[in-house]
Structure 1
Amino acid sequence: MIRLGGDAKLDRTAILRWLQGAFAKPAYRAKRRIVRFRQHSDYKRFLHEWSELNAPPASRNTIRHLPAIEAFSLLLSDEEAAARHHQSIWIEDDPLVTVHATIHKPASREKGIPWGVGQIRAPQAWSTTTGHRIKVGVIDTGVDFSHPDLKHSLGRGINLLNRGSLPHDDNGHGTHIAGTIAAANQLRGMIGVAPRATVYPVKAFDQHGSAFVSDIILGIDWCVRNRMDIINMSFGMKTRSKSLLSAVTSAYNAGVIIIASSGNDGKRKSIDYPARYSQTISVAATNRMRRIALFSNRGAYIDVFAPGDKILSAWLNGKYNEMSGTSMATSHVSGAVALLLAHRPNLSPAEIKAILRRSMIPLRGTKAPRLTGELDVMRMLQAADR
């Protein structure tokens, strides 16, 4: 194994040979990891040499370039990854992340306003704001472009798993999220929280609802470069990722509002990442009774609660499904923030979080109602105007 340490200057030839060796390892001996450069100058020099590397086409498909965090994701064995004690690079796992939803079941056609949209008082705001021209990037499983309730609500987006294709949904979760945010078919179907906002599906998750952190980082980067106003992140993981935090921080510093779900483990003092990062708006779930849903993670890290229990929304093949999860709560908040941004377009992510936190209504059945509460769109808009 080549040592990658010692000198203050990066031995780029050593790393190129190391990467070539990593390409040749059998997949069963390796797992996906992120290799990140500590110095910008080393990254730029390496990027130039890597672009000229005469690697086999299969190798180039194996490695993922993550320009937003000056890193690469590739398959490395434990032995190769052990070479992390050096000055020029660091290595961390590139784990799988899963979407945040519990059991779903088919539902009959929804007409009009779903209960969650009504509970947060979105319809009362539509005479003032409908989310017009607000762009919401939904990093998820894609979307059903043919769904009649979504055909006026979608931008093209991107498919990170198959760059040549539209981000078609082969799971259903992303379509459900998009419906709650911006469905717009009130006469014949359902209507979402912000019916004139535009959802841009960013397909990073496969048909099983799983994605690597590196796919999510690429999705965040796409959202920033394509000037999304909001990123909906209805997924999470238990472990902290420096690489994901770096991408989230870059988006936050660019003025993008990131809304993330807390997780469905019923934990009382802990939530999943990326919702646990302070740069996100973290969302937990309530039921029709304005009580915390049993499955929802909760605690001091939560910024706001929203409806997430037995939420009916759009599904594959033009159908509808009922789902429960903090994913569903997060899509309500993304829609609400779209309404707010259309009304007050120059608010920063920090200002929006502060407005949400001071305009919530108390939860039922909680011992500390003042610490957190449920989303209320009308109170949110009033707080923004004060």
Structure 2
Amino acid sequence: MDYYAFWQSVHEEIAAGPYGERRILTFHNSRQYAGALAQLKQLKARRTGLRKVKASPLIRAFIVPAAGAFKLMRKYASLIAVEEDSRIQIHSYSSSSVAQTPPSSIPWGVRAIRAPEAWSRSTGVHVKIGLIDTGVDFLHPDLKASLASGINLLHRGMLPIDDNGHGTHIAGTLAASGGLKGMMGVAPRAVIVPVKAFDHSGAAYVSDIVLGIDWCVQNRIDLINMSFGMKTRSKALHEVVVKAYRAGIPIIASSGNDGKRGGDYPARYPETIAVGAIDRKRRVASFSNRGGYIDVHGPGEKVSSCWLKESYKEMSGTSMATSHVTGAAALLLALRPGITPRELKLALRRSTVPLLLRGGQKRARLGGGALDAVRLLRIGTRAKAGARRAEPGAPE
């Protein structure tokens, strides 16, 4: 393969067309991808158009402006797969007005999953949570002690500062540590690693998510929270989710807010942990998607958490439910750092408590039960002890 000619063709089409939509180009052969990547690095300094090309080595992919993909689709059809770079949205359903103080130091959802009762065993210390979202408010007093620098995929070199609010809200439920003066999240000693993939409107491209997961795998993040979704399948997104799964990094994803059976991707991929939302009465929230693929339900209705400019806000959605589940998973990972994504999913499913049903609902059609952090730690660590006893020569 002539790698120079390949990139020259991309450069010419980028220069000729407007920069708008994008395409994901995935190489079938890892050796050819490596050759193309090496050539790209050499040419970027001299071909300014190629600086718009991004790479995901984890799935052997390049993200290029759509204008640069047309010739490639014809000329290199046997070597690469071309996928449209679709848009994807955060999962927020409704919100209330902003307040300067939290209604409670420990929000109802954190209490409902019994996180405070679990803190005597684990607070999630040192567990790194990759938060692929809109960024985080680095100045919020309840989050300062919980944040790592992370990465801004939209503006490399800048901090992943939140210009929407959704990411900050998720971060608060995950690991706020404001004590009595602020609010406490589910895993107050975990480390949030913000990965800004979404813009101020809460929209991103699939390729931004691919690059975010790729970055999390390369930087050995322990756990990934993904409170967003799309209606259609993406081969590239599924492939990078599988890569993270095989690398031992659990991905916890929200099911969506359409109030229907079925749900959004990536939650519907079997390699993720799919989350639905419940209300204060432990019933499936009216807006939550449902189905047998959902592994666990978390509090998602009128959840108060951190917001921009050192404030707080009440929001509803499966996004909020997902942050409770990810926080509880961090509590378990602190005790079992080697737990696999499959083991974590099984522990979550086995430790849930039954949902309360609305009229006419059948539990089997709703998916897993309600999250319980105390039961999760007990069942999750018991599985580890059982595995040790099963080893040859292990003490009884």
Matched, 1:332 2:298: no
Mapped to 1, the partners of 2:300 and 2:7 lie a distance apart of 48
User: Which residue in 2 is equivalent to 1:69?
Assistant: 59
Matched, 1:15 2:10: no
Is 338-347 or 186-195 further displaced after alignment? 338-347
Q: 2:22 aligns with which of 32, 39, 46?
A: 32
Contact between 1:20 and 1:55, CA under 8 Å: does it hold in 2?
no
Mapped to 2, the partners of 1:362 and 1:84 lie a distance apart of 56
User: Which residue in 1 is equivalent to 2:372?
Assistant: 376
- Tell me how many residue pairs correspond in the alignment: 375
Matched, 1:260 2:253: yes
User: Which residue in 2 is equivalent to 1:348?
Assistant: 340
Kindly provide the amino acid, as one letter, of the partner of residue 92 in structure 1: E
Is 327-336 or 153-162 further displaced after alignment? 153-162
Q: Deviations over 1:107-166 (max 9, x none)?
A: 432131100001111110011111011110100011001101111111111111111211
Contact between 1:133 and 1:342, CA under 8 Å: does it hold in 2?
yes
Percent same amino acid at aligned positions?
53
**Aligned-pair CA distance for 1:383:** 1.1
CA RMSD of aligned residues (A): 1.8
Mapped to 1, the partners of 2:295 and 2:120 lie a distance apart of 27
Q: 1:322 aligns with which of 308, 314, 324?
A: 314
Is 179-188 or 83-92 further displaced after alignment? 83-92
Mapped to 2, the partners of 1:54 and 1:318 lie a distance apart of 41
**Aligned-pair CA distance for 1:63:** 1.3
Mapped to 1, the partners of 2:342 and 2:75 lie a distance apart of 35
The verdict on how the C-alpha distance between 1:12 and 1:226 changes in structure 2, with shifts beyond 3 A counting, is: closer
Mapped to 1, the partners of 2:304 and 2:258 lie a distance apart of 21
Matched, 1:361 2:356: no
Could you list the structure 1 runs, at least 4 aligned residues long, displaced by more than 3 angstroms after superposition: 10-14, 54-58, 77-82
Matched, 1:88 2:83: no
Q: 1:119 aligns with which of 92, 112, 125?
A: 112
**Aligned-pair CA distance for 1:55:** 6.8
User: Which residue in 1 is equivalent to 2:172?
Assistant: 179
Aligned pairs for 1:279-318 within 5 A: 279-318=271-310
User: Which residue in 2 is equivalent to 1:3?
Assistant: none
Contact between 2:276 and 2:297, CA under 8 Å: does it hold in 1?
yes
Mapped to 2, the partners of 1:253 and 1:18 lie a distance apart of 35
**Aligned-pair CA distance for 1:322:** 0.9
Q: 1:272 aligns with which of 264, 276, 289?
A: 264
**Aligned-pair CA distance for 1:16:** 2.5
**Aligned-pair CA distance for 1:54:** 6.4
Mapped to 2, the partners of 1:99 and 1:257 lie a distance apart of 19
The verdict on how the C-alpha distance between 1:25 and 1:107 changes in structure 2, with shifts beyond 3 A counting, is: same
**Aligned-pair CA distance for 1:31:** 2.2
TM-score by length of 1: 0.92
Mapped to 1, the partners of 2:188 and 2:16 lie a distance apart of 50
**Aligned-pair CA distance for 1:278:** 1.0
Q: Deviations over 1:312-353 (max 9, x none)?
A: 100000001111111100000010000111122221111110
Q: 2:95 aligns with which of 66, 90, 104?
A: 104
The verdict on how the C-alpha distance between 1:173 and 1:81 changes in structure 2, with shifts beyond 3 A counting, is: farther
Q: Secondary structure at the match of 1:27?
A: coil
**Aligned-pair CA distance for 1:206:** 0.7
Is 147-156 or 173-182 further displaced after alignment? 147-156
The verdict on how the C-alpha distance between 1:191 and 1:69 changes in structure 2, with shifts beyond 3 A counting, is: same
Q: Deviations over 1:77-131 (max 9, x none)?
A: 4854753882111100111111000222224321311000011111100111110
Q: 2:145 aligns with which of 148, 152, 157?
A: 152
Q: Secondary structure at the match of 2:163?
A: coil
Q: Secondary structure at the match of 2:131?
A: strand
Kindly provide the amino acid, as one letter, of the partner of residue 347 in structure 2: I
Mapped to 2, the partners of 1:182 and 1:35 lie a distance apart of 37
The verdict on how the C-alpha distance between 1:19 and 1:234 changes in structure 2, with shifts beyond 3 A counting, is: same
Q: Which runs of 5+ in 1 are unaligned?
A: 1-9
Kindly provide the amino acid, as one letter, of the partner of residue 238 in structure 2: L
Kindly provide the amino acid, as one letter, of the partner of residue 35 in structure 2: R
Mapped to 2, the partners of 1:188 and 1:53 lie a distance apart of 54
Aligned pairs for 1:156-171 within 5 A: 156-171=149-164
The verdict on how the C-alpha distance between 1:82 and 1:51 changes in structure 2, with shifts beyond 3 A counting, is: closer
Q: Deviations over 1:236-272 (max 9, x none)?
A: 111111111111111111111110011111121x111
Kindly provide the amino acid, as one letter, of the partner of residue 231 in structure 1: I
User: Which residue in 2 is equivalent to 1:385?
Assistant: 381
Matched, 1:216 2:209: yes
User: Which residue in 2 is equivalent to 1:194?
Assistant: 187
Is 31-40 or 14-23 further displaced after alignment? 14-23
Mapped to 2, the partners of 1:307 and 1:256 lie a distance apart of 23
User: Which residue in 1 is equivalent to 2:40?
Assistant: 50
The verdict on how the C-alpha distance between 1:120 and 1:145 changes in structure 2, with shifts beyond 3 A counting, is: same
Mapped to 1, the partners of 2:33 and 2:331 lie a distance apart of 40
Contact between 1:305 and 1:372, CA under 8 Å: does it hold in 2?
yes
Contact between 1:130 and 1:195, CA under 8 Å: does it hold in 2?
yes
